[in-house]
Structure 1
Amino acid sequence: MLLAIDAGNTNVVFALIKDGDIRARWRIATDPRRTADEYAVWLRQLLDLEGYALADVTAVIIGTVVPRALHNLSVLSEKYFKVEPLIAGQGSAEWGVTLDVVEPRTVGADRVLNSIAAHAAHKGDKIVIDFGTATTFEVVDYTGAYKGGIIMPGINLSLDALVAAAAKLPRIAIEAPESRSVIGRTTEDQMHIGIYWGYVSMMEGLVARMKAEIGRPVTVIATGGLAALFEAHSDVFDSIEPDLTIRGLAMLYERATA
């Protein structure tokens, strides 16, 4: 089975894949100091709970936007799974897609992986919105080329910055407001409205501007842990696909080993 590892700024996601299906997935907080031995102890227990063993993993592919995390993840693969991992964007796992931007080498691995998976699943032009540490918008044209996009602070990051900078504002949970009113009657209500409806308005406004600039029909795909939070209160998404990055890793592995 293939172990696909997506190392993001906040979490590292491990997904066990067989015959194109995700059989199990786990996540752990990103910490570049975490050793291969620590990963192995944690993974061994989780694999056992799902009825698998370390020996069931026969291939590993890693995609990361945290360069310092790569070494220990590579050691994990070599020491405990006895395989040399493929690294997304390197060697035989080169992207194989056009990065039609000024500085292709600066494009994050997650953004290219999202583009690969989105193009495989949808025809025509696409906008991928990924809700992570940053909220990113990827534009993928009808040929599969990555054309650029937008990077902005993620919703958790925005809330953390607000609470840190304003001494009297409380920390609140990120959730959809019970009411559609955008006039808050308490401080907490006003914060919920600002964070939630502000994000909805931002997404809808930016997508509208991007569609106008593209000038062709566009499919909008959402991914990332918080994507489903906005589904009930906005029709901006055509599809929500939480495993888009992992599926991009699996597709890249198949292409590299074909």
Structure 2
Amino acid sequence: MLLAIDAGNTNVVFALVEGSDIRGRWRIATDPRRTADEYAVWLSQLLALEGYTRDVVEAVIVATVVPRALHNLQVLASKYFRTEALIAGRAPVEWGMAIDVDEPASLGADRAVNTIAAHALHPGDLIVIDFGTATTLDVSDYRGAYKGGIIAPGINLSLDALVTAAAKLPRIAIEAPATASVIGRNTVDQMHIGIYWGYIAMIEGLVARLKAEVGRPVTVIATGGLATLFERHTDVFDRIEPDLTIQGLAMMWQSAHIGRTTPPPGDHPALPTRKI
């Protein structure tokens, strides 16, 4: 099986992938100081809970936007899984797509992997929205070329900034308001409205502007842990792909494993997708 690792700014996600199936999925808070030994103890216990041992892992692939975390993940692969970790974006798992922006080297690994996975699963022009530490909106054309996008504060960052800067405001859970009214009758309700409906309004407005600029039909794909929080209250998403980054990593490993450099659209069995 493949161990796919997505190291983000907030969490590191580990997924055990067999063919087109995700057999297990675990996350731990990102800490660049965490050693390979610490990862191994934690992950071995979680594998055991699902009935697996470390021996089932035959290959490891990593995508990271936290450079300081990479070394210990590489040591984890070599020391505990006896394999050299493949690093997304480096040989033999280069991006294999055109990156049509001013600074191609600055494109985050997660965004590149998402673009690859999205085009393997869906034809045409795409907007991929990833709800993570930051909320990113990435545009790619019908040929699979990455054209650029938008970086906005994630909803948790927005809430943290609000609570930190305003001494009398309480910390609240991020959830949909109890009603559709946008006239709050108390402080907590007003905060829920501002954070939740304000965020939906931002996403809808940005997607509308992106679509107008692209000028062709566009499929909007949402991913990331908070995507499902918004889907009931907006029709801006065409698809929900909860595991898009893991899917992309699995596709990239599979392509390298069978000697190709680019995963062609539709050439991979799809992992679970939801149509809105």
Taking structure 2 as the reference length, what is the TM-score of the superposition? 0.93
Distance 1:226 1:17 in 2: 22
The match for 1:185 is 185
Q: Secondary structure at the match of 2:223?
A: strand
The match for 2:272 is none
Residue identity opposite 2:42 in structure 1: W
- Encode CA deviations 1:174-233: one digit per residue, 9 max, x unaligned: 000111111101000110000000001001111001000000000000000000000110
Once the two structures are TM-superposed, the CA of residue 256 in structure 1 deviates from its matched residue by 1.6
Distance 2:34 2:256 in 1: 28
Matches within 5 A, 1:43-192: 43-192=43-192
Distance 2:248 2:152 in 1: 22
Distance 1:188 1:211 in 2: 34
Distance 2:20 2:109 in 1: 20
Q: Secondary structure at the match of 2:76?
A: helix
Identity %: 75
Unpaired stretches in structure 2, ≥5 consecutive residues: 259-276
The match for 2:39 is 39
Is structure 2 residue 247 aligned with structure 1 residue 251? no
Q: Secondary structure at the match of 1:167?
A: coil
Q: Secondary structure at the match of 1:63?
A: strand
Residue identity opposite 2:97 in structure 1: V
Residue identity opposite 2:182 in structure 1: V
Once the two structures are TM-superposed, the CA of residue 237 in structure 1 deviates from its matched residue by 0.3
Distance 2:103 2:251 in 1: 24
Residue identity opposite 1:250 in structure 2: A
Two-structure CA RMSD over aligned residues (Å)? 0.5
- Stretches of 4+ moved more than 4 A in 1? none
Distance 1:152 1:232 in 2: 21
Distance 2:257 2:105 in 1: 23
Once the two structures are TM-superposed, the CA of residue 21 in structure 1 deviates from its matched residue by 1.1
- Encode CA deviations 1:119-173: one digit per residue, 9 max, x unaligned: 0111110100000000000101100111000001000000000000000000000
Once the two structures are TM-superposed, the CA of residue 20 in structure 1 deviates from its matched residue by 1.9
Distance 2:22 2:144 in 1: 24
Once the two structures are TM-superposed, the CA of residue 23 in structure 1 deviates from its matched residue by 0.7
Q: Secondary structure at the match of 2:123?
A: coil
The match for 2:26 is 26
Distance 2:22 2:157 in 1: 29
Aligned residues between the structures: 258
The match for 1:194 is 194
